[in-house]
Amino acid sequence: MNQWESRWRDGRIGFHLPQVNSYLRRYSDQLFEQVPESVFVPLCGKTLDLPWLAGKTKKVVGVELVSQAVEEFYEENKLNYTIQQAGKLQLYRNASIDIYQGDFFDLKPEQTGLFKAIYDRGSIVAIDQPERQKYAEHLLSFLSPRGKILLITLEYDQSQMSGPPYSVPAAEMEVIFTKFGRLELLETCDILDDRFRNKGLDGLLERVFQLVTK
Ligand SMILES: C[S@@+](CC[C@H](N)C(=O)[O-])C[C@H]1O[C@@H](n2cnc3c(N)ncnc32)[C@H](O)[C@@H]1O
C-alpha cells in the first residue's frame, strides 16, 4: 500500500476542505475568460471544487490515485457513475464530472483531449522535489495553446517538516514554469495555524499563481 492509500484509509486527509476553495472562487473569472468546454483537475482527491467547477463548465475531468477517494467523492456528492478501463487507469464517468483513477503519470492527453483551463490545488505540493519538473512537463501536455493554469502552493522551511505537503518556493515555481509562459503571483497568504505549528513549522505561506502559456 502506498502512502496515499494509507492516508485515505486512515482518514489522514487534513488537506480536504469542507467547502469550495476561496482562491478558486476569487480567481475563477480570470482562469475562465470565456466559459471553457472543460477543466482539468489533477490529483483531485474528493475536493468539493469539482462540483463547483461543474457549475461553470460542461465537463470537469479529474485524476486521482486512490480509488477510495474517488468512490467517496461520488457517494458523498450523490452522483451516479459508471466505471470503464482506460489504458492503465479506471475511468469513473458521470454526465458532468469524470475522474480517472490511477497514477497521473499514466494518463495521456490523447485520452482526455486538451484543456483551456487547469486547476492545481494541493497537487504540485504533493509531488516530491525530484519529480516536480517532470510533473510540470506532464501537466503542460494537457493544456491547450494559450491555456491557463491556476496553481496554489505552500511555502515553508522544508527542514522543519518532511511533507507532503512539500514546500514549493516561489523561486522554484519561476524556474519550473517560466519556460512555458507568463507566471504571475496573484496572492500570498500567511496561513500558519496550530495544526502546522504542532508539526514544527514557524511560518507557512500559501501562494496563488496563474500561468498563461504562449
Ligand atoms: C494533497 S491531496 C490534494 C487533493 C485535492 N487537490 C484537494 O485540494 O483536496 C493530493 C492528492 O493527490 C493524490 N495523488 C498523489 N499522487 C498521485 C499520482 N501520482 N496520481 C494521481 N493522484 C495522486 C493523493 O491520493 C491525494 O488525494
- pLDDT over 80 at 1, yes or no: no
Give the start-to-end residue ranges of the domains of the chain. 1-11+37-113
| CATH architecture of the domain with range 1-11+37-113 | 3-Layer(aba) Sandwich (3.40)
Q: Which atom of ligand 1 is nearest to the CA of 17?
A: 9
User: How far apart are the C-alpha atoms of 172 and 157, rounded to whole Å?
Assistant: 14
Contact 17, 48 (CB under 8 A): yes
Amino acid 49: pLDDT: 98
The confidence band for 112, taking pLDDT boundaries of 50, 70 and 90, is very high
pTM over 0.75, yes/no: yes
Sheet containing 82-86, strands listed edge to edge, beginning at the edge strand earlier in sequence? 82-86, 89-93, 97-101, 59-64, 38-42, 115-121, 143-155, 205-213, 181-190
> pLDDT (tens digit, 9 = 90+) per residue, 77-98?
999 999 999 999 999 999 999 9
Give me ligand 1 centre to Cα 64, in Å: 6
Amino acid 147: pLDDT: 94
Residue partners of 80: CB distance under 8 A and separation at least 6? 74, 94
User: How far apart are the C-alpha atoms of 4 and 202, rounded to whole Å?
Assistant: 26
Does ligand 1 lie within 6 Å of residue 47's CB atom?
yes
With 0-12 / 13-18 / 19 or more C-beta atoms within 10 angstroms meaning exposed / middle / buried, residue 106 is: middle
